[in-house]
């Protein structure tokens, strides 16, 4: 799954089976968690914190509870991302970059996932 953030809810994530790596980045850009998770563990991701998850060799199954019954997530990369929806001028001014770099930032990823799932035979 591509990195994403919850726009209006906190997440309580409980690992049901397997293992994987979670990375959580705070709203100031600092990493608040970067580590392995496994069955029986729980992680809480505050609203507006970005998260990326990658399954380990055993796979990864989890259940996520949101603190809002109409919780919304927003991807940070790909064709469905927040950055894709921003005007180039906003990106240029926000990051102090050229129009060419703004376009590159906005359109550099087309996919909506980062890690492809495994095919079972």
Task: Report domain extents, the chain.
Answer: 1-72, 77-114
Residue with tokens 């064709």: 79
Beta carbons of 76 and 85 less than 8 angstroms apart: no
The pair phi, psi for residue 104, each rounded to 5°, is -60, -45
Q: What is the pLDDT of residues 47-86, one digit of tens each?
A: 999 898 989 999 999 999 999 999 998 877 677 677 777 7
Q: How confident is the model at residue 121 (pLDDT cuts 50, 70, 90)?
A: very low
Q: CB of 12 within 8 A of CB of 51?
A: no
pLDDT digits (tens, 9 = 90+) for 8-61: 999 999 999 999 999 998 877 788 999 999 999 999 999 999 898 989 999 999
Name the more confident of 90 and 112: 90
Residue where the block lists tokens 């591509």: 2
Q: Quick one: average pLDDT of 95-104?
A: 82
Alpha carbon 71 to its chain centroid, in Å, reads: 15
Task: Enumerate the β-bridge partners of residue 63.
Answer: 14
Share in percent of the chain as helix, strand, coil (round to 5) = 15, 40, 40
Fold of 1-72: Jelly Rolls (2.60.120)
pLDDT at residue 47 in the model:
94
| CA-CA-CA-CA dihedral for 31, 56, 116, 45, to nearest 10 | -30
pLDDT of residue 59: 94
């Amino acid at each position: 799954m591509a990195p994403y953030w919850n726009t209006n809810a906190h997440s309580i994530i409980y690992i049901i089976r397997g293992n994987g790596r979670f990375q959580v980045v705070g709203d100031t850009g600092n990493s608040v968690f970067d580590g392995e998770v496994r069955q029986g563990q729980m992680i809480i991701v505050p609203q507006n914190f970005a998260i990326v998850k990658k399954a380990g060799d055993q796979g990864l199954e989890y259940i996520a509870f949101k603190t809002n019954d109409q919780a919304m997530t927003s991807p940070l990369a790909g064709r469905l991302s927040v950055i894709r929806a921003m005007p180039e001028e906003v990106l240029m001014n926000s990051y102090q970059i050229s129009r060419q770099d703004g376009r590159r930032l906005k359109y550099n990823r087309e996919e909506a996932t980062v890690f492809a799932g495994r095919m079972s035979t």
